[in-house]
Structure 1
Amino acid sequence: MTQLPGFSLKNWQNQAQQSHEELRAQAREPVQDGEAILFTDDVLSLTTAVEDISSGGAGLVLRDEVCAIRENVTLTLTIQSGHQRMTRQAVVRWVRVSGPETRLGIQYIDHICLSPDSHRLDIESVRIDPSCALRIPASIAVRRKLLPFLAMDGVVHVATGSLINAGLTNAVERLVKSPVRLWDVDKSALDKVIHEVYGNALTVKALPVAGAASNDAVDLGDKLLYAAYIRQASDIHIDPGFNGARIRFRVDGQLENYDVVKHGAYTELASRLKVMANLDIAEKRLPQDGRFSHQFVRGGRRVDIRVATLPTKYGERITMRLLALQTGALTLDRLGFIGEHQRIIESFLRRTQGMMILTGPTGSGKTTTLYAAIRMLLESRDLNVITIEDPIEYEIEGVAQCEVDPTSNKVDFAKALRSILRHDPDVVMLGEIRDQETANIAIKAALTGHMVLGTLHTNSAAATVTRLIDMGVEPYLVAAALRLAVAQRLLRRLCKHCRIPRPLTEQEALILGRANLTGARIYDPTGCVYCGNRGYAGRIGLYELLELRADWARDVAQGRGEAQLVENMREAGMHGLIDDAIDKMITGETSFHEVLQVVSSW
């Protein structure tokens, strides 16, 4: 084996211990013409390396035998395609070689990037457009490791694990019948995503193509549900009108058009969805509610789908809410709790009794925050946690979850809560405190050694006190039990890959009531392949926390209520929802346009 001048195996072994993050940072350096960069998962020795580019036999062979590369080294690269072979010199700046995968004693490299026009992409962070994925047959996508994921400005963006060159680009353009931009991705990650897109529990022919004409109600329903799932929609709206039924998805709180189906196809689709939700298909004059579950991807998340129908002039309007039952990595910091807010809520969760109420409008993420709090409790100590929900939105291992039935009088929140208190709970979570009976039972539970977590519909944290008193709870009981009230909203989170900086104008600063912020750097959305050309990717929470201190609790007990609490919070310098929104705008988490929604509605 040829050893590089000045090379030390011991030094290399020490250098090989550096973190993957550092290597990835190096990998993002721009590729200059005439250079080659080799990507793999592990840092091991490099001997002879070969990569198969396609089943056609194209390959890239490193002829120089080296033990390791940490400095600029010139290698002779032999590129072979069919019967043609050419040799060129290239400078390799750094190398990572895959570990256990060997074939006939040859260690394979995950990817060799020769083209200066190549673009590295984290395919697992990209939002896949399901209608774009079917621009190539599933069999070719799986065999050739190609995945079209977005059509934008007349260009189809395609992820590939193969060597990007003019030949591949031309072949893919012929395949999709459109100009393409190829993105270099990790092979193992691409395999996983391709499996999720094309290896779905649905048949390949049932994958969604927007605008496709289909009289098969089963096929059309499956297409619709799968498209919503892939786009990470929270709701599906099917609204019949004069010219057909318009289908829209709610993604990150915003409605997006998906398709329009003809009346005949819509009628069949409505019947299919009602059958799945166990509704009466003959009843079209009364509203109905139902549900069903579906596992879209083998080994993936199971989704609970709530279906509601409403009779309208042109037919039944159908709304479906998609609830991914697994919690994933729900943590307080991922939800937007930082700094003092995180300290306050974590301080409450170290208690053994007391009440925490989350407030906000429907769809503001209150239940998600409660689940994150429960996960934190379970990670810190062994507890008996019981929840009462309508519906169960996430499944949490180790938690007894009870679902109430609002359509009958057999199990409601108050009856379930009375029963739960006989099961020796440490923590009780109430999906919603709706009436005086439930509120009084919850307050008394918080005063008798239990931690109670619940939600209300109010506009601010201080209004929680007023709401509980209006429901019939005595002020002194509210003061004794309530320890923390959290008001929250959701704003769209800027895509970190395409946001662009600019200064805050004087007029914008005045609108926010923060003239001192004129000229501060903020960010605007643009749109890219990672966010599906939206400019936003996901949502982030805004929070206002009211920690009921002893003197403030006395004010509540004496009937001073909400107005006094607001004054106390202002004097203490506590941040409100608008303050938190502005902070997240300045840090680049969200945009001025999103913050303006909070300011305008306050």
Structure 2
Amino acid sequence: MYNTAGQCSGKIRLGELLVAFGIITQEQLEDALFEQKKSGRRLGHVLRQLGYVSEETMIEFLGKQLNIPSIDLEQVVPDKEVVNLIPEAIARRHKVIPVSRVGNVLTLAMPDPLDVFAIDDVAGISGCDINAVVSTERSVLKAIDKYYWIQETAPDADADVTYSTDHSEKLIDNANMADGSAVKLVNMIIRQAVNDRASDIHIEPDERQLRIRNRVDGILHEVMTALMSMHAEVVSRLKIMADLDIAEKRAPQDGRFSVDTGNDKIDIRISTVPTIFGEKIVLRLLEKKAIMVGEEKLGFDERDLPRFRRMINRPYGMILVAGPTGSGKTTTLYTALNIIADVEKNVVTIEDPVEYKLALTNQIQVNPKAGVTFASGLRSILRQDPDVIMVGEIRDKETADIAVHAALSGHLVFSTIHTNDAPSTAARFIEMGIEPFLASSAILGIIAQRLVRLLCEHCKEEYAPTPELLDELGLSDAPNLLFYRPHGCIECKGTGYKGREAIFEILEVDEEIKNLIVAKAPAARIRDAALRRGFRTLRDAGLAKIVQGKTSVEAVLRVTQEAEVAADD
């Protein structure tokens, strides 16, 4: 049942082999065996944990001395049908993943290919002979996270829950879902979303079924459906997790909770609304490592990054970040605050909601029931001796007026505003009723941004754009350009895209722009003046990423259409 490149059979003891070949001493082995008895962990893991042997040394030893081949799971894509030969619970317990099958021989990647208990388990479950190959523990765990979609599967015609992706459908049977069914289903929904890199989960009841959709890279995808009989249990489970009122079904509710995925802690915001078929729930997944990025990873190019640094290091004034919901404005603001916050500054924010706790920053949550709004909170902040202020969003004249006066009285103020581009943001402030001379003096700069989908590096296709397309994009003077388009593979789940990156336009308010704001000039005139000084539009920033091969024409046009329309008005 067990074969490693035809060289090993029977029950081989890893520790004795390592001593025999001089990799570790007998004393080190005894230490490791003693620790193994206490922790219950595998010997190989304990040896690495104690620092007696590195994972690389172990793989080299197994390859050279025992002729056990290694495999790079970053380069080899396991067959999805083969992966399903063993349950995820077994794969995680033994830290193994099936890679391929030839006849009745199953190739199994594992960090310890001499673990006969793991091999016997997999052989018994799969009914196959096992060809063990070695890979790093990190690679195996990453592959398990990547290729397993659910925790337990069993084919059954009477399935309650259907999981679907672009590549497969799997069924959860009634028996599996019987005990703690809502708990299991909610865990699976969240697990699927984490694996998909989803930003939001939509749990939607309709007349016949419960539909689950994940928003991945800005696009909603249906990933599973369940019988409507599961709806009430799922809603109650999520409300309990978020400490919401489970008896209240007719009014919207908001809350939050956290989950530990094993690799990271994810904060989840929950919003419920009543619909004609029952309560719909949207979960927003907030992963700290995704929102707290360095300035070099925001997406600024070599021209815009110095402008960004110059603005955020000014002692006072206002910096506005513009864009629709979901365009990455919070990430930009949090990154800026993370850069400038230190023990010599009093940094205070008023947010709705507070998405992440920032170091050296005093964060206030908007709470209308307690009388804490953006405007009232901002007034209170000004009595707290602040150096830097962040207002989550400027929605009305009152908040805008207080923010402008704060910027003019020696404070550095950051905020967001829902406008399409940078030039129209200045005009929007005037429309709110702010005196033009005050707005022009307060605003240091405006950053407009969008998130554009990135092409999957594993499957993107190169092509030569037509002369008509180049002309439409304003690139007719470069006829030999090569573009890339999406194709679809297992890495990107057939979408052709994987991840997103921001594109920016940065408008620094110089003397000419100030004069135009004072004169209440339309956005088009402000834009033209900025273009003469090297201003680059969102569309131009997107075109640069197309030329670099990072994204597609369609992806850029999709997120910049509104900005171009606004610029033409």
TM-score bin, normalised by smaller chain: 0.7 to 0.9
SS of alignment partner, residue 432 of structure 1:
coil
Aligned residue number for residue 264 of structure 2: 300
Choose the corresponding residue for 2:452, options 481, 491, 497: 491
Does the 8 Å contact 1:330/1:375 carry over to 2? Answer: no
Choose the corresponding residue for 1:457, options 395, 415, 418: 418
Aligned residue number for residue 428 of structure 1: 389
Does the 8 Å contact 1:54/1:162 carry over to 2? Answer: no
Q: 1:432 to 1:527 in 2, by over 3 A?
A: same
Q: 1:99 to 1:325 in 2, by over 3 A?
A: closer
Instruction: Give the structure-2-normalised TM-score.
Output: 0.76
Aligned residue number for residue 220 of structure 2: 255
Aligned residue number for residue 336 of structure 2: 373
Q: Tell me which amino acid in the other structure corresponds to 2:257.
A: S
Question: For the residues of structure 2 that align with 1:494 and 1:182, how far apart are their CA atoms?
Answer: 35
Question: For the residues of structure 2 that align with 1:568 and 1:599, how far apart are their CA atoms?
Answer: 20
Question: For the residues of structure 2 that align with 1:484 and 1:351, how far apart are their CA atoms?
Answer: 11
Question: For the residues of structure 1 that align with 2:513 and 2:383, how far apart are their CA atoms?
Answer: 33
Aligned residue number for residue 556 of structure 1: 517
Of Structure 1 and Structure 2, the greater helix share is in 2
Choose the corresponding residue for 2:200, options 206, 221, 235: 235
Cα deviations across residues 419-478 of structure 1 (Å, max 9, x unaligned)? 111111111111101111110111111111111110000011011111111111110011
Shift of 1:310: 2.9
SS of alignment partner, residue 383 of structure 2:
helix
Question: For the residues of structure 2 that align with 1:319 and 1:454, how far apart are their CA atoms?
Answer: 25
Choose the corresponding residue for 2:12, options 57, 62, 80: 57
Whether 1:309 aligns to 2:273 is yes
Cα deviations across residues 150-175 of structure 1 (Å, max 9, x unaligned)? 9xxxxx998644669xxx99997995
Q: Where do 1:573-584 residues align within 5 Å?
A: 573-584=534-545
Aligned residue number for residue 567 of structure 2: none
Whether 1:358 aligns to 2:310 is no
Of Structure 1 and Structure 2, the greater strand share is in 1
SS of alignment partner, residue 339 of structure 1:
coil
Q: 1:414 to 1:540 in 2, by over 3 A?
A: same
Q: Where do 1:94-243 residues align within 5 Å?
A: 101-102=51-52, 108-109=58-59, 120-122=72-74, 136-138=86-88, 140-142=90-92, 144-147=94-97, 160-161=110-111, 185-190=135-140, 210=163, 211-213=171-173, 214=177, 216-243=181-208
Which segments of 5 or more consecutive residues in structure 1 lack a partner in the other structure?
A: 1-35, 37-51, 68-97, 151-155
Which segments of 5 or more consecutive residues in structure 2 lack a partner in the other structure?
A: 24-47, 101-105, 155-160, 164-170, 565-569
Cα deviations across residues 375-415 of structure 1 (Å, max 9, x unaligned)? 22137x74221111111122212211111024x26110011
Shift of 1:185: 4.3
Q: Where do 1:495-510 residues align within 5 Å?
A: 495-510=456-471
SS of alignment partner, residue 108 of structure 1:
helix
Q: 1:496 to 1:259 in 2, by over 3 A?
A: same
Does the 8 Å contact 1:279/1:288 carry over to 2? Answer: no
SS of alignment partner, residue 423 of structure 1:
coil
Choose the corresponding residue for 1:335, options 288, 298, 303: 298
SS of alignment partner, residue 411 of structure 1:
coil
Whether 1:290 aligns to 2:245 is no
Aligned-residue RMSD, C-alpha: 4.4
Aligned residue number for residue 103 of structure 2: none
Question: For the residues of structure 2 that align with 1:190 and 1:594, how far apart are their CA atoms?
Answer: 33
| Equivalenced residues, count | 500
Question: For the residues of structure 1 that align with 2:416 and 2:107, how far apart are their CA atoms?
Answer: 43
Question: For the residues of structure 2 that align with 1:441 and 1:311, how far apart are their CA atoms?
Answer: 38
Question: For the residues of structure 2 that align with 1:598 and 1:466, how far apart are their CA atoms?
Answer: 22
Does the 8 Å contact 2:487/2:494 carry over to 1? Answer: yes
Q: 1:174 to 1:383 in 2, by over 3 A?
A: farther
Aligned residue number for residue 416 of structure 1: 377
Whether 1:474 aligns to 2:435 is yes
Question: For the residues of structure 2 that align with 1:289 and 1:182, how far apart are their CA atoms?
Answer: 52
Shift of 1:242: 2.8
Instruction: Give the structure-1-normalised TM-score.
Output: 0.72
Q: 1:143 to 1:58 in 2, by over 3 A?
A: farther
Does the 8 Å contact 2:408/2:442 carry over to 1? Answer: yes
Does the 8 Å contact 2:298/2:332 carry over to 1? Answer: yes
SS of alignment partner, residue 477 of structure 2:
helix
Aligned residue number for residue 395 of structure 1: 357
Question: For the residues of structure 2 that align with 1:133 and 1:377, how far apart are their CA atoms?
Answer: 47
Shift of 1:212: 1.9
Shift of 1:177: 8.9
Question: For the residues of structure 2 that align with 1:433 and 1:136, how far apart are their CA atoms?
Answer: 53
